[in-house]
């Protein structure tokens, strides 16, 4: 997103992707109203929403056998009052194709970052390794947007504060059949968190386990895991039999962290590279998009003028630090009764779910916090212009 915004402004941008494609499974696949509003501002929402996706105007959970609306987006002051569930590789591919319409944009796939170029304490670019060998890329600004395991932030020596998490998530697929539940459901279950995401021809399922307990789950055997899934899933019990082996299960190690400082002279980190989020609310991707918009709004002018200063990088962090802190604080508060012993804490759904069940009006507040966040960003009007200098690429929907 940041590369697209910078390229639209006429800057030369090189986007480096470690893998040969964007096809990583079980990534955050929610596009929230805040992100869709940014796409509307760029004139790209209509084209984006022609790609296959599922719309969720509300989010639900089962509590004590009753379906409860967790979040309602119907009153948000935006044009798209729903979450779009779209495979992230489709979203990334769309952004890359749009960025490719500008002559200053270059995408290098299969390129791993191996080092930073540093001169007198100033980051002046990075070194990548491709099948052709190592190549230095010099730049006025280097952006680390390479996720919670960021190589860029590690090479830059940026300090990370860990906040921990009491859980991990086991992801797997089950078939989607006629008569299954409504398209998107967060299913709390009697003792275990369980999440369903509609992928059209299959369900992406998330089974929440105690932090670091995956080895214990495996030790109990696959049959025991299938039985545990069947006990909490709203799908027919026999559907859990589709889990054929442990290879069908992917561990998402949940953690919450934040950089003490997001930047060094000539370098800044955004998104998960600056602040890893819990999967609660699926807000990580959308917080990253907000970072990108805030960065573009502040940095385009000094980059075009050739006078990028440390104060500009600090200003981006300053603007995004509060929404990051507030979101992480809320996620930590929403953990399942963290002050109680673990054995007691697993006797029922988290307290915030019970509160929403008791006072349905809170679903609209949750819809605003999840759908828009604490400080939604908007593209500056001068950055909304569409002056494409290359032929528009063919889209899959045409």
CA distances from 195 to 262, 326, 390 (A): 32, 24, 42
Are residues 317 and 268 in contact, defined by beta-carbon separation less than 8 angstroms? yes
Closest listed residue to residue 28, CA positions, set 321, 333, 277:
277
Query: What are the helix and strand counts (H, E) for the chain?
Result: 12, 20
SS (H, E, C) 159-186: CEEECCCCEEEEEEEEECCCCCCCCEEE
Domain boundaries, the chain: 2-23+46-53+86-159+258-351+373-383, 167-252
Q: In the predicted model, is pLDDT for residue 4 greater than 90?
A: yes
Domain 2-23+46-53+86-159+258-351+373-383: CATH architecture, name and number where available:
3-Layer(bba) Sandwich (3.50)
Question: Region 354-382: what's the mean pLDDT?
Answer: 89
Enumerate long-range contacts of 320-325, CB under 8 Å, 24 or more apart: 320/262, 320/270, 320/274, 320/290, 320/291, 320/294, 320/375, 321/262, 322/374, 322/375, 323/287, 323/290, 323/373, 323/374, 323/375, 324/258, 324/274, 324/275, 324/287, 325/258
Q: Which two tokens stand for residue 362?
A: 């809170």
Which pLDDT tens digit goes with each residue over 31-72? 999 999 999 999 999 999 999 998 999 988 776 667 788 899
pLDDT at 164: 79
pLDDT-derived band at 348, boundaries 50, 70, 90: low
Rounded distance between C-alpha atoms, residue 367 and residue 33, angstroms:
10
- pTM beyond 0.85: yes
So what's the pLDDT on residue 245? Answer: 97
State the pLDDT confidence band at 191, using cuts at 50, 70 and 90.
very low
| Residue 190 in this model has a pLDDT that exceeds 50 | no
pLDDT at 338: 43
Average of pLDDT values for 111-125?
98
Segment 154-165 shows an average pLDDT of 93
Q: Is the pLDDT of residue 321 over 80?
A: yes
Q: What is the pLDDT of residue 394?
A: 56
pLDDT of residue 182: 67
């Amino acid at each position: 997103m940041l590369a697209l915004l910078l390229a639209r402004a006429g800057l030369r941008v090189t986007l480096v992707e470690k893998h040969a494609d964007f096809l990583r499974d079980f990534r955050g696949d929610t596009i929230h109203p805040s992100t869709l509003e940014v796409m509307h501002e760029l004139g790209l929402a209509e084209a984006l929403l022609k790609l296959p996706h599922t719309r969720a105007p509300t989010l639900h959970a089962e509590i004590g056998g009753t379906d409860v609306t967790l979040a309602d987006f119907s009153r948000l002051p935006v044009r798209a009052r729903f979450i779009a569930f779209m495979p992230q590789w489709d979203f990334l591919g769309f952004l890359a194709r749009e960025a490719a319409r500008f002559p200053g944009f270059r995408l290098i796939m299969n390129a791993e970052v191996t080092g930073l170029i540093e001169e007198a304490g100033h980051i002046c670019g990075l070194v990548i390794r491709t099948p052709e060998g190592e190549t230095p890329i010099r730049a006025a600004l280097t952006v680390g947007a390479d996720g919670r395991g960021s190589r860029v932030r590690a090479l830059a020596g940026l300090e990370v504060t860990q906040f921990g998490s009491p859980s991990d998530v086991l992801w797997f697929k089950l078939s989607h059949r006629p008569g299954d539940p409504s398209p998107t459901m967060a299913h709390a279950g009697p003792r275990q968190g369980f999440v369903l995401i509609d992928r059209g021809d299959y369900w992406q399922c998330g089974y929440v386990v105690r932090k670091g307990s995956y080895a214990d789950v495996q030790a109990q055997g696959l049959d025991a895991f299938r039985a545990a899934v069947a006990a909490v899933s709203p799908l027919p019990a026999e559907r859990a039999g589709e889990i054929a082996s442990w290879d069908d299960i992917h561990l998402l190690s949940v953690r919450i962290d934040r950089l003490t400082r997001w930047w060094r002279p000539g370098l800044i980190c955004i998104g998960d590279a600056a602040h890893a989020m819990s999967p609660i609310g699926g807000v990580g991707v959308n917080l990253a998009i907000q970072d990108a918009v805030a960065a573009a709004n502040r940095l385009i002018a000094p980059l075009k003028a050739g006078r990028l200063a440390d104060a500009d990088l600090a200003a981006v962090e300053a603007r995004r630090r509060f929404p990051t802190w507030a979101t992480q604080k809320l996620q930590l508060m929403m953990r399942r009764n963290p002050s109680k012993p673990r054995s007691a804490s697993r006797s029922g759904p988290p307290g915030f779910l019970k509160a929403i069940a008791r006072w349905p009006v809170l679903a609209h507040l949750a819809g605003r916090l999840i759908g828009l966040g604490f400080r939604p960003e908007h593209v500056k009007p001068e950055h909304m212009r569409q002056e494409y200098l290359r032929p528009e690429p063919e889209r899959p929907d045409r």
